[in-house]
Amino acid sequence: MRTVFVNGSYVPENEAQISIFDRGSLFGDAVYEVTSVLDGKLVEYDGHMTRLRRSLAELKLPSPATDDELLEIHRELVKRNDLTEGLIYLQISRGAADRDFLFPGPDVKPTLLMFPQKKSLINSALAARGQKIILVDDLRWRRCDIKTVQLLYASIVKNQAHDAGADDAWMVLDGEITEGSSNNAYIVTEDGTIVTRDLSTDILHGITRKSVLQCAAELQLKVEERPFTVAEAKAAKEAFSTSATSFVNPVIEIDGASIGEGKPGPIAKRLRQVYIESSKAAGI
């Protein structure tokens, strides 16, 4: 059984409790981060905590813990759960109060919960095979840059993809791809340029995205940060997605159109390898 952390205590998972009035469940009034663990070390930890602070600030959500405390809890959960490969999930909600659309006063304490999840990240059958993607309308709210727990639409389209025999969904806004259900989206054009949507409120500013673009620059690959169309995606030489737990994940099909040779492309494979090596080496 896992040891989890909730509101100041480490407890067995079946003893962890939060209030039925928690605004995370009533309003989706909560933010989260997922940090990967490789070899028992936290991957891209600083990036995730910087984004957490930004999400909290955007929602005027008070923080229940200092930077030092959050790092200590992450490490303690890794240790107590003997976690070598997987992830630590962190969620902060605005706390429990009588149901009201107005935010509660300063006496209401935010809820902090964290738990580990074991998962094989490096050896991924999906990354070896390559993902099949369906395209769906991007019907999310327009602050996708804030990492809130409002994940219902992402969950619906992921299920839609599975029901259609595919692996994931990429979302389309005004004819252009925004991002995947839980990842950033990339194509490689005929001339070998990596294209991914530029940062705005339309997408989550992926921590993996930032590092993978750095890896691409170090490999002297050409990168363009701009929106790309559905037609460009279907005609791409290669495609892939990135996220904290999937790293770089090749795409072999988009809405029925075979991408490249219908198998993971060399650029995606190389970036996956280089990213995993460098993030492992920098783990804390």
In angstroms, rounded to a whole number, what is the distance separating the alpha carbons of residues 273 and 263? 16
In angstroms, rounded to a whole number, what is the distance separating the alpha carbons of residues 40 and 250? 26
Q: Stretches 73-81, 158-166, 177-185, 214-222: which one binds ligand PMP (CB under 6 A)?
A: 177-185
Residues 55, 81, 93, 184: which binds ligand PMP (CB under 6 A)?
A: 184
Q: In this structure, are residues 192 and 267 in contact, taking their beta carbons and an 8 Å threshold?
A: yes
Backbone dihedral angles phi then psi of residue 11, each to the nearest 5 degrees: -140, 155
Residues 22, 168, 179, 202: which binds ligand PMP (CB under 6 A)?
A: 179
The least distance separating ligand PMP from the CB of residue 158, rounded to whole angstroms, comes to: 10
In angstroms, rounded to a whole number, what is the distance separating the alpha carbons of residues 34 and 87? 6
Catalytic residue among 147, 210, 237, 280: 147
The least distance separating ligand PMP from the CB of residue 267, rounded to whole angstroms, comes to: 18
Site for ligand PMP in 199-238 (CB under 6 A): 204, 206-209
Answer yes or no: 147 catalytic. yes
* x/- track of binding to ligand PMP for residues 58-87 (CB under 6 A): ------------------------------
- Work out whether 243 is an interface residue with ligand PMP (CB under 6 A): yes
Q: What do you get for the CA distance between the two ends of the chain, in Å? A: 25
Q: Stretches 82-90, 156-164, 175-183, 217-225: which one binds ligand PMP (CB under 6 A)?
A: 175-183
Q: Which of 124, 34, 116, 43 is nearest to 82 (CA)?
A: 116
**Toward ligand PMP, which CB reaches closer, 93 or 178?**
178
> What are the residues whose beta carbons fall under 8 Å from the beta carbon of 46, sequence distance 6 or more?
none
Q: Stretches 1-9, 94-102, 176-184, 218-226: which one binds ligand PMP (CB under 6 A)?
A: 176-184
- Work out whether 55 is an interface residue with ligand PMP (CB under 6 A): no
- Work out whether 242 is an interface residue with ligand PMP (CB under 6 A): yes
Amino acid at 210: K
* DSSP code per residue over 171-224: EEETTEEEEETTBEEEEE-TTS-EEEPPSSTTS---HHHHHHHHHHHHTT--EE
| Helices assigned H by DSSP within 1-123 | 23-27, 45-58, 67-80
Q: Which residues are catalytic, by number?
A: 147
Which residues contribute to the site for ligand PMP (CB under 6 A)? 34, 179, 182-184, 204, 206-209, 242-244
